[in-house]
Amino acid sequence: MTPQEFIDIALWFPEATEDQPYGPDALVYKVAGKSFAILAGADAAEDEETEPARITLKCEPDLALELRAQFPSITPGYHTDKRHWNTIVLDGTVPDDELVEMTVHSYQRVIAGLRRADRDRLTAVLGQDAPPLPGETT
């Protein structure tokens, strides 16, 4: 998955926004003001001498450990609560469909922690016929 493909997926979610609170090197994706994804090194794909881009996603703690054991490119979250966040290096070793699933899981985890009114509104939107994710065929 390229950084741009990830950006398209992150912004696909209802009410998702992009912010740069940590400067131009990190794109933060939020819903209702809460972060669900961080993309660092988005311009890395253009320069082969730099490290690949990295995504940091919220994750249920037991699942986070399972994913780290399964994929060497998944490590405890960089500059986040390492129990609840994973950082994934976009080096091609994690299949795209797995990255999409992890992003959906992260978004859902954040929604679950929102105020009831926000949670109910977003859950209702997700329950409707949503358009296909970027890259999916209908």
Sort 8 into a burial class: Cβ within 10 Å, 0-12 / 13-18 / 19+.
middle
pTM for this model (two decimals): 0.87
**Which class in CATH covers the domain with range 3-127?**
alpha beta
Q: Check the CA dihedral 8-2-108-101 and report its sign.
A: positive
pLDDT tens figures, 17-76? 999 999 989 999 999 999 999 999 987 555 566 789 999 999 999 999 999 999 999 999
pLDDT tens figures, 48-61? 667 899 999 999 99
* Domain definitions of the chain by residue range: 3-127
Give phi and psi for 26, each to the nearest 5.
-135, 120
Per-residue confidence (pLDDT) for residue 111, from 0 to 100: 93
For 73-109, the DSSP string reads TEEEPTTS-TTTEEEEE-SS-S-HHHHHHHHHHHHHH
